[in-house]
Structure 1
Amino acid sequence: MGSDAHYPEEAPAHSVRVGAFRISPTQVTNREFARFVRETGYRTVAERPLDASQFPDAPAENLVPGSMVFTGTPGPVDLRHLSQWWAWTPGANWRRPFGPGSSIGERAEHPVVHVAFEDASAYADWAGGRLPTEAEWEFAARGGLDGAEFTWGDGPESDDGDRRANYWHGEFPWRAEPGYGATMPVGSFEPNGYGLFDTAGNVWEWTSDWYGGHEAGACCAPVDPRGGSREGSIDARQPFDVPRKVVKGGSFLCADSYCRRYRPAARRPQQIDTGMSHVGFRLAADASG
C-alpha cells in the first residue's frame, strides 16, 4: 500500500495482508441507486432539509438542501484555490447532478454521485454488502500489479497511446478534450487484472476507513489494517468539526497538472456529510457473504 514517490499522505509505502473478500466490478450506477430509493423511500443527505440550529450564523435563504458541483472556469486560474471551480448548488443531488433542471434521464449507467458516506452505507446495507476498507480497495484496484504506479502498469497510457481511464485530458479546470471533463458510463475502459472497471478515474470511491496517516508495521505486514479514529480524522483547520473517511481512485477531475491521483496508492479525506459531483462508491462483501 501507499507510495513514497507521489503525495505526502500516501507515504510510507508498506506491505499489508488482506483476507479473502469480494468486490463489485463496477461503481454503483444511477439505475441501481434508483431501485434502492424506489424500494425503500430513502432520502439522501443532499435532499434533506438543513437543521438551522447547526448553522446559527447562516442566512435563512442559504439553509436549503444541495451539494457541491464542479463548474469549469472560463480560462486559466490559480490552481491553489479550488473554490474557483467548486460551487455549493442548492437543489443538486443524485437525481439532479448539475442542480435544478438537470436529471439522470440519459445517465442511468453513470456512477451515482452526490452521495454522502451515510447514503453509501445505507445502500450497502440494503444490498447485503458493505463498503471496502482502504486496504481491500487498494489491493483490488492494483489488479495483481504490486508496486505499479497505475492499475494497468507504470505509464499513464498504453504502449500504443490508448487512453486507459476517465481522468482530465486537456487544460484543467477550464478546457477538457471532447468526451472528458464529466462522468462516463461505468465500464467504458478496459478492466484491470482482477476484472474491475474504473478503479482509476471516473469518480472517487468511499471506503469504510477513517482518514489518518499510514502506519507501517514495525516488523511484519499487518493483516486487514484499518484506518484511524473518528476523532482523529477531524481537521481542526476546517470551519466545522466533520469527521472524514478515505476516498480512493481519483475522478474525471484528476489532471496531471493538478491532481495526479488516478492511481491505486492515491487517497484523499472526504467529510462524511458532504456529497460531490465526483464522489461515488462500489460494494464489497466478506468472502463467505
Structure 2
Amino acid sequence: MSPVPRQRHAHAATARHHGMTHVPGGTFLMGSDHHYPEERPQHAATVAGFWIDETAVTNATFAAFVEATGYVTVAERPLDPAMYPGADPAMLAPGGLVFRMTQGPVDTRDVSNWWHWTPGAFWRAPEGPGSDLAGRGEHPVVQVAYEDAEAYARWAGKDLPTEAEWECAARGGLDGAEYAWGDELAPNGEHVANTWQGPFPWRNFAADGFERTCPVRSFAPNGYGLYEVCGNVWEWTTDWWGAKHAADPNKPCCAPVNPRGPSIEGSYDPGQPAIRIPRKVVKGGSFLCAPSYCRRYRPAARHAQMIDSGMSHIGFRCVIRDSAKIGGQA
C-alpha cells in the first residue's frame, strides 16, 4: 500500500500535543560502559527540545488510524521470496514472530526456542490466529514493523524519535542513572516496570502483575512524565543500527548535537550476508527482559531490529520537535 500522507486530521489539528510531554533541550550522558558492548562508549550528547508521547501508541489509537486510512500493515502483506533466499516457502505466508514460553530450561543462545514465525499474526491478532485484542485496547500495539510505525506517525502529524531523543526522554532527567527511575531495579522491593521475573524463558512468576504486555500507565512515570518507557515493549527509533556509538568520549567539549546513527549500509547483519534487510535501533526492553537473560530494561540499552519484522514485544511512541526537522539519515 502507498505511504500514508502526513495530514492534519481533526484530532491532530485541535489537540496536537494532547497526551504528550515536553523534553527540554540539553546535554546528557548517552550509552553505558558497564553493560553490553553495543552500548559503548558512554558519551555526552545534545538534543534540541521536543514533545514525546507519554505512552506507547495503544491498540485503540492504532485502530483509529487504520479505520481512518485503510492502512494495511506489513504483517498482513505477502512476502517477497527474493528477500529471503533459501527460506522454506511455507514460512513466507504473511505473519509475525510470536513469543511462546518453553516447557523447561533451554539453550538461551538459540532464540528459535521461544520465537516462532506465526502465519496470521498481526496487530489485531498479536499471538496469531485465535488471539484478539479483547480487553487490550489500552495495551501498546505490537506486531508493527518500522514502516507501520512511520505511517502512523505521518498520519498523526508527528515523527518517530531518534535514538538520542528517545534515550534523553527515557532518562527523565536522571543523568547517568541505571534505570529510568533510579539505580535499583526494584526499589524497596517494589516492581516499577513490566519485566520478566523468574528463569527465562520457561517460568515467569509475574510478580509485577503481568505475564505479557500491560496497559499503558500501569506504572509510575519517569521524571519527564513518560510511562513504561522501559519494559513492556521495545520501541522503534528512526536511526539505522550501528554496532556501537560513534561518538568520542574523550572530547566532552564536542558533544554531538542531534546525533544520528550510521548510514543504512552499516545496518545489515554481517552474520546473515544473504539477507539484505536493514535494521533500525529499538530501545527500552520489554516484558521479556529478565535479570537471568536480558538486562535491557534500561535507557542505555539498544537492540537491532530488521525493519520488515513485526514481533509480539515491539511497539513505538512518537515525537513533535520544537525546531525544524533534524538532518542526517532518515
TM-score normalised by structure 2 residue count: 0.85
Deviation at 1:181, TM superposition (A): 2.8
Q: Separation in 2 of the partners of 1:216 and 1:106?
A: 44
- Alignment of structure 1 residues 43-192 onto 2, 5 Å: 43-55=72-84, 57-159=86-188, 161-178=189-206, 179-192=209-222
Counterpart selection for 1:286 from 321, 324, 329: 321
Structure 1 spans left out of the alignment, 5+ residues: none
Letter in 1 for 2:46: R
Letter in 2 for 1:267: R
In the alignment, is the contact (CA less than 8 A) between 2:44 and 2:256 conserved in 1? yes
In the alignment, is the contact (CA less than 8 A) between 1:169 and 1:181 conserved in 2? no
Q: Separation in 2 of the partners of 1:199 and 1:56?
A: 36
Which residue is 1:227 aligned to? 261
Counterpart selection for 2:225 from 195, 205, 211: 195
Which residue is 1:21 aligned to? 50
Give the secondary structure class of the aligned counterpart of 2:47. Answer: coil
Q: Separation in 2 of the partners of 1:266 and 1:57?
A: 32
Describe the superposition over 1:208-231 as per-residue Cα deviations: whole angstroms up to 9, x where unpaired.
Answer: 001112022445111110001111
Give the secondary structure class of the aligned counterpart of 2:239. Answer: strand
Deviation at 1:61, TM superposition (A): 3.3
Give the secondary structure class of the aligned counterpart of 1:15. Answer: strand
- Alignment of structure 1 residues 1-12 onto 2, 5 Å: 1-12=30-41
Q: Separation in 1 of the partners of 2:85 and 2:191?
A: 48
Q: Separation in 2 of the partners of 1:60 and 1:260?
A: 35
Deviation at 1:177, TM superposition (A): 1.4
Describe the superposition over 1:32-82 as per-residue Cα deviations: whole angstroms up to 9, x where unpaired.
Answer: 000000000000000011234444644543331000000000011121111
Letter in 1 for 2:256: P
Q: Separation in 1 of the partners of 2:260 and 2:84?
A: 32
Describe the superposition over 1:146-184 as per-residue Cα deviations: whole angstroms up to 9, x where unpaired.
Answer: 00000111110123x111100101121011114333100
| Structure 1, 12-21 or 210-219: larger mean CA deviation | 210-219
Give the secondary structure class of the aligned counterpart of 2:46. Answer: coil
Deviation at 1:128, TM superposition (A): 0.4
Q: Separation in 1 of the partners of 2:67 and 2:58?
A: 14
Deviation at 1:2, TM superposition (A): 0.3
Which residue is 2:235 aligned to? 205
Q: Separation in 1 of the partners of 2:90 and 2:167?
A: 42
Structure 1 moving runs of 4+ over 2 Å:
51-63, 178-181
Which residue is 2:246 aligned to? 215
Describe the superposition over 1:255-286 as per-residue Cα deviations: whole angstroms up to 9, x where unpaired.
Answer: 01110000000000100111100000001111
Q: Identity across aligned pairs (percent)?
A: 63
TM-score normalised by structure 1 residue count: 0.96
Count of matched residue pairs: 288
Q: Separation in 2 of the partners of 1:281 and 1:169?
A: 24
In the alignment, is the contact (CA less than 8 A) between 1:169 and 1:180 conserved in 2? no
Give the secondary structure class of the aligned counterpart of 2:235. Answer: strand
| Structure 1, 44-53 or 259-268: larger mean CA deviation | 44-53
Structure 2 spans left out of the alignment, 5+ residues: 1-29, 325-330
Deviation at 1:287, TM superposition (A): 1.8
Letter in 2 for 1:173: P
Counterpart selection for 1:272 from 307, 312, 327: 307
Letter in 2 for 1:242: I
Cα distance, 1:80–1:59 mapped onto 2, change above 3 Å: closer
Q: Separation in 2 of the partners of 1:264 and 1:56?
A: 35
